[in-house]
Amino acid sequence: MKICMIVANDMVYDSRVDRHAETLGQNGYDVTVLCTHTSRTTLEERRPCYLIIRRSDFLHRLVDARMRARQSQSRSRAVSDLPEKVSTLRSLIRSFFRLALSVTFDLSMIHAARQLNANIYICNEVYTLRVGVFMKLLGKRIVYDAHELYPDMFGDTPNYLRRLLGRVEGFLTKFADIVITVNEFMASEICSRYGIHRPVVVMNCARASFPFRPVCAHRRERKVVLYHGVMSRERGLENVVLACKHLRNGIQVVFRGEGPIELKLKELARGLSNCVFEKPVPVSEVVSRAAEADVGIVSYLPTTLNNIYASPNKLFEYLQAGLPVVGSDLPFIRKILLENEIGLVFNPFDPTDIARAINFISQDEAYRKMKMNVEKARHRFSWEAESRKLLSAISDIGPVGY
């Protein structure tokens, strides 16, 4: 049976889609991931058990060129992550341009999706669900994998726009044969919000292929606290930098990644010897490189419902790397960390409380206990265990069009 997974990024760092595609391919499905082409990628790429096909159009090539120019510019000066104030005319022009981008994206992806002629189309964001609905009208089966609560992703989204996006997503979601999401909190919200059957929960668990690093009798004196991932607003990273001023001696915070507020964070960290920055690593090395650290950190701010119910990939990547975790006091993060005694929570708005959690978990006795608990929990929160839910959901759809 042929499966086409559609995603609105270039598949360089999308670990969830990579895991899903590889697992389906390993279990006998003919899997192709259809995504966007950018300057850092090739038009086709073969990965273990699946194929990636990338498509682009003139407008997206123009946007990609513009983004590369801005990145080059940002090397010499800091670029604010805050929304810039623009005139009404410029705002209208941007709105029309975004609409044009959406239309050209849909047309390009629909054309490629029809050529692939798959039996099942898995849409990995609301942006790709429009393409999926078109394929549904052609008699194909559709799966909607809702990674986020998309209308609630950004705190500065006007209420009227959030309501409009919710109505659009609710309308499109009703075409899906099955809806999948990342945790029980989001599943309940989507079910209540759109009046559909409760989505299947497939958590963002990482593969358990990396061997566990046991607790050493003689730990090195320095403890390394790692944040890896995108450096963007509403992830509370500014407060993590400020927390470095209140850490005990022998603790270092490492930011591994890149993003729109990277330069802002580096400027904020100027003069702090216990705060360092590293480049991101390939998806295949994320867990093994995370194991170089001692503690993982997840610091999302509860600025939106999407952030409040966040289920970050990095939480499970840290666990598979054998790291205890300190995280924001949010429902899902709290549930995982406290129920399994594998970490501590903090107030992400308060740098001193972030430092409190890091200082406590870095103490030898607390660290050793939580490290042992991570060893017990990591098998339960592994992709090898979680993948069965994905395979069961796909097999329940049926072979229509096969």
254-291 confidence digits (pLDDT tens)? 999 999 999 999 999 999 999 999 999 988 899 999 99
| Separation CA 254–CA 226 (nearest Å) | 5
Confidence of residue 401 (pLDDT cuts 50, 70, 90): very low
Tokens of 355: 């430092």
Quick: pLDDT tens for 176-224: 999 999 999 999 999 999 999 999 999 999 998 655 554 443 345 789 9
Residue 37, pLDDT above cutoff 70: yes
Listed in sequence order, the residues at least 6 apart from 159 whose beta carbon sits closer than 8 Å to its beta carbon are none
Q: What is the pLDDT of residue 226?
A: 98
Positive or negative: CA dihedral 60, 232, 42, 25: negative
Residue 20, pLDDT above cutoff 90: yes
What count of other Cβ atoms lies within 10 Å of the Cβ of residue 204? 20
Q: What is the mean pLDDT of the chain?
A: 88
Residue with tokens 């308060």: 350
Angstrom CA distances, 264 to 73, 85, 245, 270, 364, stand at 14, 19, 17, 10, 33
Least confident of 96-100, 171-175, 260-264: 96-100
| Separation CA 204–CA 333 (nearest Å) | 12
Check: CB of residue 226 under 8 Å from CB of residue 206. Answer: no
Residue type, 97: F
- The distance of Cα 1 from the centroid of its chain, to the nearest Å, equals 28
